[in-house]
Structure 1
């Protein structure tokens, strides 16, 4: 992988950050995913973990383990820097990655989406048009963050972009589907938040009892499927 916009910098005495650019787009996302998967399959001596974000990967390492067996006079950071640089040269993002498509049923509006009309009014649309635009999108999971299992999704129509609430709510129920600016996401836990809530899914996005607790993973595709309130409750009955 050769890209003049890739920057490798120390973040702390035990971490290094690799930045692939400053824009949120799928090409940079593929680079982030390629390095992440490479580190999973080829952890170096002293590797602790990585954290991927929209445009970067942060790698945490144990300096003492990095130095063990090393015959050179370089610092742990320099050794990890060389390791990462070598890894970047081996990556091939043009091959692409296989991804899953996850359907997420959503009951829009009413008690499940009290900000649906706010989004509609802000964009001079009807609530039905907002639902149509939101549910017709092909969304990419760029990263999981904020709370365990919370997906940051790209691909939402700018026609329904709406600023965050000026006064965040102290508690938003898990499963709530929200909009913040040009992003959309799903609350995986009951948490405070300022996103505009337009609907709710009966699915649990965070399942701590599972081997893979997060239903969604970076690189997955998401499609929202409108359902009625009756269908919502039927889903909940099946799940429980």
Structure 2
């Protein structure tokens, strides 16, 4: 024990920036999860339908593989993504569900910095891409015929054609509280009777964290955070089987 602690102390001194970026950041993220009384923390092993799922997709972010597994396991047929970026999540979801029809919304680059209805977070600007690069992951793929690229500001976009029709809504647009609030309200209106909402960047982004915690206290069913992901999930279908935590349980990760 003591040699390990001494090694940790030496490592912190030598690699202070790395320690601050990983250990301190992750410790704060975990602490916030336990400060959210209306959000239930679960492990992947408590989602039976994904435990034996086989999916194909981009490995740069394992989270999108879990989203694809959920969509496949729950037999979702319609997907709406707010925040296209490269389009890797939409492609992965559609690739693994042959009956899936997807819609993905992003702001045209010319409007992104100056014409949004609500304020943007400073880091939101890092995700702007030239229009031709938006959705590049599904361009010229067999899946493209089942994907519709939509353009507009999610705060002012007309979502009414999709009301009650979307099985899975993925919110990964602008990260300010006001934008996440608007996106969540629209997601709830779009949601089908058995639908699901997935919020990205829960725990790691203050605006998303605050809004999801507030909304979770008002919904008719639980909102779950999955350890090891940035995801918070609300579903009108049961998909979680809670397990007792014991000495043999896998330890949760951030």
User: Would the TM-score normalized by the shorter structure come out above 0.5?
Assistant: no
Max radius of gyration: which structure?
A: 1
Q: TM-score range by the shorter chain?
A: under 0.3
- TM-score w.r.t. length of structure 2: 0.23
Which is richer in helix?
2
- TM-score w.r.t. length of structure 1: 0.24
Which is richer in strand?
1
| Structure having greater relative contact order (Cα 8 Å, sep ≥ 6) | 2
